[in-house]
């Protein structure tokens, strides 16, 4: 291939976890690329495997041996060959992560400033430079009264403010890739709008790539260049966000989009998806969505794989491929 190597390349990532209900495969042969500066959205419902997949893709999933197969390439390096110390080094400098609940991710007994400077100090930055960088970031993140916030403890801040601090923590070392797991789910809609616009500005200004995990299609639509849709541990569709949202090529994506309320109840019932997401411990071969799919037929009992169905578009539904 002549095209340039993407920043992050995941091929056939497969994870297996032992749960009380039995062994499950939260990610089954998942493949995706993220180019430098690109934002990829990973959409799915709870239990679809999106968080495990994202964490395993940078070897953050515990236990680490849950990763059963696959290739993970980041900036030319094979992540599966790195040892614990090298991984820690990589995460401290090039890959950062923010999570849904900043209250749990921040240290409650350290001030915001101490947490921010500690990250940079571990990277060998001087105390003075680290403090300057921390202040600069809080200003960039539009945190009012930044000097006073540096001296504050997490519990003294609002939810939106804590999420900004967590973003600042992730950005201290200017990462090339930011993994954001439901970064706005715990926030109010106006604060969510502010955080999304902030992330959008950061990716433009810093050229930072992002993997944004969300169950919310509207969040993905606002921020992501491309979107990958996950169902029952497998990617069912991937493609440029506008075209996937306008013209979905997998029945699950289509059903998910249709179930978002648009008009009023006088227009008739919402097109809900019948049934429930499948139990990953009892997943039959074939398309994981077929039990809830209006178009399912005998062909769907065969294993389905992602195949190209258009310009940059891939679907795992044989009907879209045929």
Partner 1 sequence: MKTPLLELAAVSKHYEVAAAPLAGLLSERPKVRAVEGVSLSVAQGEIMGLVGESGSGKSTLGRLALLLEPPTAGSVRFAGADPQADLNAFRRRAQMVFQDPQSSLNRSKTVGEILAMPLQVHDVGASRVARRARVAELLTSVGLRADAATRYPHELSGGQRQRVGIARALAIEPAFIVLDEPTSALDVSIQAQIANLLVELQQRLALTYLFISHDLRLVRWLCDRVAVMYLGRIVETGSAAALWQAPRHPYAQALLAAATAERAAPSGIGGEVPSPIAPPPGCAFHPRCAFAGPRCAREVPASRGDAQTNVACHLYDGGVA
Binding site for partner 1 (CB under 8 A): 45-46, 142, 144, 158-161, 188-194, 196-197, 199-200, 215-218, 221-223, 255-256, 259-265, 269-274, 276-277, 292
Cβ contact 284:230 at 8 Å: no
Nearer to partner 1, 142 or 302 (CB): 142
- Of 160 and 239, CB closest to partner 1: 160
Reference 67, options 83, 85, 55, 50; nearest CA is 55
Tokens standing for 67?
């990763």
Nearer to partner 1, 161 or 306 (CB): 161
What does R_g of the chain's alpha carbons equal in angstroms? 21
Closest of 69, 37, 38 to residue 56, by C-alpha: 69
2 vs 246, beta carbon nearer partner 1: 246
CB of 143 to partner 1, least distance (A): 10
Q: Minimum CB separation from partner 1 for residue 182, in Å?
A: 13
Give the nearest distance from C-beta 91 to partner 1 in angstroms: 26
CB of 79 to partner 1, least distance (A): 29
Phi, psi (rounded to 5 degrees) for 175: -70, 155
Smallest gap, in angstroms, from Cβ of residue 92 to partner 1? 28
Sheet holding 39-43, edge to edge: 95-98, 177-181, 209-214, 39-43, 226-231, 234-240, 313-315, 307-310
């Amino acid at each position: 291939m002549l095209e340039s190597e993407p920043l992050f390349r995941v091929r056939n990532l497969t994870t297996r976890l032992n749960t009380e209900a039995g062994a499950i495969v939260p990610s089954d042969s998942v493949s995706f690329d993220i180019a430098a500066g690109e934002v990829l959205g990973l959409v799915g419902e709870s239990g679809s495997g999106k968080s495990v997949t994202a964490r395993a893709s940078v070897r953050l999933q515990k236990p680490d041996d849950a990763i059963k197969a696959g290739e993970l390439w980041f900036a030319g390096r094979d992540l599966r060959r790195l040892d614990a110390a090298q991984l820690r080094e990589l995460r401290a400098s090039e890959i950062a992560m923010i999570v849904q609940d900043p209250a749990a991710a921040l240290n409650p007994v350290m001030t915001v400033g101490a947490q921010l400077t500690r990250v940079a100090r571990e990277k060998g930055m001087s105390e003075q430079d680290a403090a300057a960088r921390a202040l600069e970031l809080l200003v960039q993140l539009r945190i009012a009264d930044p000097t006073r916030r540096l001296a504050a403890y997490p519990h003294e801040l609002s939810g939106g403010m804590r999420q900004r601090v967590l973003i600042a923590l992730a950005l201290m070392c200017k990462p090339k890739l930011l993994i954001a797991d439901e970064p706005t789910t715990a926030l109010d809609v106006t604060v969510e709008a502010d955080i999304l616009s902030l992330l959008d500005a950061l990716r433009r200004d810093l050229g930072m790539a992002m993997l944004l995990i969300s169950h919310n299609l509207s969040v993905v639509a606002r921020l992501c260049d491309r979107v990958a849709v996950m169902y029952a541990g497998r990617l069912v569709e991937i493609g440029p966000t506008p075209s996937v949202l306008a013209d979905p090529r997998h029945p699950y994506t289509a059903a998910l989009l249709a179930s978002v309320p648009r008009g009023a109840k006088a227009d008739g019932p919402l097109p809900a998806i019948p049934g429930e997401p499948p139990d990953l411990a009892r997943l039959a071969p074939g398309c994981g969505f077929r039990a809830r799919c209006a178009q399912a037929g005998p062909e769907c009992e065969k294993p389905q794989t992602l195949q190209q169905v258009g310009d940059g578009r891939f679907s795992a539904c044989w009907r879209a491929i045929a």
